[in-house]
Structure 1
Amino acid sequence: MRIAQLSHLADPALCPRLVIKVGSALLVGKDGQPRRAWLTALVAEIAAARAAGQQVIVVSSGAIALGARKLGLAKGGRGSLADAQASASVGQIALAGLWAELLAGHGITAAQILLTLEDLEDRRRYLNVTATLGRLLAAGAVPVINENDSVATQEIRFGDNDRLAARVGQAAAAQGVLLLSDIDGLYDRDPRQAGAVRIPVVQGVTAEIHAMATGGSSSGLGSGGMTSKLQAAEIAEMAGMALAIIDGQPGSPIATAFNATRGTLFLPRRRHTARKAWLGGRLRMRGTVSVDAGAAAALARGSSLLAAGVIAISGDFARGDAVAVIGPDGQTLARGLAEYDAAEAARLLGHPSSAHEAILGYAPRSALIHRDQMVLL
């Protein structure tokens, strides 16, 4: 039996490992103070889940909002990158202390992990995160994770904790990701419009599903919106995880949503190998490789990407870097690790494999991107 409905995320037999993401607007009030009563109720739910045999990982926003108040910075600490970094430096201490205190009230040890985008994009560092999470969970701790906003720049950051939660779930081999939001799921249009209908279950994030999303966060405190949640759902479904969006505003929000079956559940489509799931969930590509219709059809059949079917190269990538494969219609077909750097790939563009040695002056590799180092989207 697999996860098929919202309440299954609370079943340790179906979801032995769950990631819970908490946004800034839920954790911090408009006065910049933590919402202790609300958080106390949520921690009680986490403790109950653990007592039932479920391992829990928390991805928690709130450091910038908490720090901005202590430093007296305007715009919730998001007026500039320097303000955000300074606020995060101060607020992360308070945030970690808050989680540690409330979890300790249930006899649970909290562990803090701060991550940047590169920690999960680089394969070796990703495996280190995986190992650390596994050891903490085995030891009975609850990892509390946030983006390391004190050092992350615009170019090397997730920018929202929705996608971070999905990537953490992937690294931890979790079965489910639960996004506590200020809305109770995905609607077929802006939920402020009359007649908007909530979508209870989504089987695959399609272009039509993306069209339903609105981009911004309504609270002004967070950095995510429905678009980032759909991107998180895409990462989750590629890793074989279920992901749900529920309204986090009520007291005891998880039980409230599950008992009423109110939220949106994104079902997993397939579970790739760990390496391909990591590759498919990457957020930064170093370049693009555009292919013709023949190459696109060959990829769909499970073939490697040969240079003969490539019509354009862009980006300054090296061998082993992640690149996106773009089809004739401009859509991304796959992601993979390049077997050649950009300059070599450009020289091979459109040429059959039999001509590669003469062009490069050395024995060529079997493909521009090998199928074992590529994931179809």
Structure 2
Amino acid sequence: MTIETLADLTDPARTPRLVVKVGSALLVGKDGQPRRAWLAGLAAEIAAARARGQQVIVVSSGAIALGAAKLGLAKGGRGSLADAQAAAAVGQIALAGLWAELLGAQGLTAAQLLVTLEDLDDRRRYLNASATISKLLEAGAVPVINENDSVATQEIRFGDNDRLAARAAQAAQASAVALLSDVDGLYDRDPRQPGATLLPRVQGVTRAIHDMASTASTSGMGSGGMTSKLQAAEMAGRAGIVLAIINGTHDRPIARAVEQDIGTLFLPRRRDKSLKSWLGGRQRLAGALVVDAGCAEALARGGSLLATGITATEGAFKRGDPVAVKDADGRILAHGLVEYDAGEVAAIQGHRTEELEALLGYAPRSAVIHRDQLVLL
């Protein structure tokens, strides 16, 4: 059974496992204090979902905002990396306690998972996180996941919890992600403009869909905008996971969205296997291979990446590293696990297969990136 409407998000047969993402502006008021009444309503919605037979994972922002209020830091704790890290260290304790209290009032046990980009980009650590989430759900707990902002840096971080929610959904093998936002969903233009129309359903995220998005975070408190939500929809969609954007500013927002059918549902066009969905969702790559038009066409038909189609090599990657595959215009076509070190690829790029042994000094592998280790974006 597949998800086709917002109402399906509350159907345990269609959505047995749901990820709910809560942003900072929804969780924390402008005074820096948690919005307890609103959160209590959301906790009740999570309890209702559990009573229906659904498993729920929460991806919760708010640690930096809560910690900044306690420490008296300017700009909500986002004035500098050091401020954000210090605020997160203080605020994460308050955030975990808040969820434990509110879910506990509903008879549920909260479990905290703090992750970094590397935890979910490294295959072994990703599988460990997946196993932990599954065990917690089997035990009846509600995992509450957040980026570990006290150690994350600008270079090694998700940057927003929209993409973290999609990545967590992949790891949890969830059916759907509900991003609670400050707007009703995706509009065909800036929703503040006259005549802007809400898009109820989107079948795959295309370049035209991206052109509709705004990168701004309207609250000034969070780090995401509509662009990050579309990137999350792409990431979830590669694993066959539905993603919904719904307005979280109302009381019991999930029930409102479902009952009134207000929101945007992103329906996936594919379902990659576990390895490929993980590979497609990687944000940090070790380098890139630039390919010609003929090679790009062969990849689109399901072929492997051969040396003859490579025109340039970027980065200092090693065999087994994840790399991007780009066309001549710099557009990323795919991610893949490369079979050679960067120096070897540079030596064989543009050469035919029968020439490679003489160039390498040993029998070549079947491809620079085998199609089983490559995912088209």
| Fold equivalence (TM over 0.5) | yes
Supply the distance in 2 between the matched residues of 1:108 and 1:56 (Cα, whole angstroms): 11
Supply the distance in 2 between the matched residues of 1:331 and 1:301 (Cα, whole angstroms): 18
Supply the distance in 2 between the matched residues of 1:331 and 1:76 (Cα, whole angstroms): 36
Task: Please list, as runs of the form range in 1=range in 2, the aligned pairs for 1:75-224 lying within 5 A after superposition.
Answer: 75-224=75-224
2:37 match: 37
Supply the distance in 2 between the matched residues of 1:250 and 1:35 (Cα, whole angstroms): 12
Between stretches 286-295 and 15-24, larger displacement belongs to 286-295
Between stretches 245-254 and 320-329, larger displacement belongs to 320-329
3-state SS in 1 of match to 2:234: helix
Shift of 1:329: 4.4
Supply the distance in 1 between the matched residues of 2:205 and 2:25 (Cα, whole angstroms): 26
Shift of 1:328: 3.8
1:279 match: 279
Supply the distance in 2 between the matched residues of 1:182 and 1:274 (Cα, whole angstroms): 32
Q: Deviations over 1:95-114 (max 9, x none)?
A: 00000011111111100000
1:317 match: 317
Between stretches 13-22 and 327-336, larger displacement belongs to 327-336
Paired AA for residue 67 in structure 1: G
Supply the distance in 2 between the matched residues of 1:218 and 1:329 (Cα, whole angstroms): 32
2:335 match: 335
1:226 match: 226
Task: Please list, as runs of the form range in 1=range in 2, the aligned pairs for 1:284-303 lying within 5 A after superposition.
Answer: 284-303=284-303
1:14 match: 14
Paired AA for residue 294 in structure 1: G
Supply the distance in 2 between the matched residues of 1:65 and 1:138 (Cα, whole angstroms): 32
Supply the distance in 1 between the matched residues of 2:329 and 2:300 (Cα, whole angstroms): 15
Supply the distance in 1 between the matched residues of 2:242 and 2:168 (Cα, whole angstroms): 13
Work out the number of aligned pairs and report it: 377
3-state SS in 2 of match to 1:20: strand
3-state SS in 2 of match to 1:56: strand
Q: Is it true that 1:364 corresponds to 2:364 in the alignment?
A: yes
3-state SS in 1 of match to 2:108: coil
Between stretches 351-360 and 326-335, larger displacement belongs to 326-335
Between stretches 276-285 and 140-149, larger displacement belongs to 276-285
Supply the distance in 1 between the matched residues of 2:68 and 2:19 (Cα, whole angstroms): 27
Percent of aligned pairs sharing the same letter: 72
Q: Deviations over 1:74-129 (max 9, x none)?
A: 00000000000000000000000000011111111100000000001000000000
Between stretches 323-332 and 207-216, larger displacement belongs to 323-332
3-state SS in 2 of match to 1:155: coil
Moved over 3 A (4+): none
1:54 match: 54
Q: Deviations over 1:325-359 (max 9, x none)?
A: 11244322211011111111111110111111111
Supply the distance in 1 between the matched residues of 2:351 and 2:313 (Cα, whole angstroms): 13
Supply the distance in 2 between the matched residues of 1:152 and 1:274 (Cα, whole angstroms): 26
1:69 match: 69
Between stretches 146-155 and 350-359, larger displacement belongs to 350-359
Paired AA for residue 43 in structure 1: A
Supply the distance in 1 between the matched residues of 2:284 and 2:250 (Cα, whole angstroms): 36
Q: Deviations over 1:120-156 (max 9, x none)?
A: 1000000000100000000000000000000000111
Supply the distance in 1 between the matched residues of 2:371 and 2:263 (Cα, whole angstroms): 37
Gaps of 5+ in 1: none
Q: TM-score, normalised by structure 1?
A: 0.99
3-state SS in 2 of match to 1:110: strand
Paired AA for residue 362 in structure 1: Y
1:345 match: 345
Supply the distance in 2 between the matched residues of 1:349 and 1:270 (Cα, whole angstroms): 31
Shift of 1:49: 0.1
Paired AA for residue 285 in structure 2: M
* RMSD over aligned Cα atoms: 0.8
Shift of 1:292: 1.1
Supply the distance in 1 between the matched residues of 2:296 and 2:153 (Cα, whole angstroms): 36
Supply the distance in 2 between the matched residues of 1:353 and 1:125 (Cα, whole angstroms): 36
3-state SS in 1 of match to 2:155: helix
Supply the distance in 2 between the matched residues of 1:33 and 1:297 (Cα, whole angstroms): 54
3-state SS in 1 of match to 2:257: helix
Supply the distance in 1 between the matched residues of 2:183 and 2:299 (Cα, whole angstroms): 39
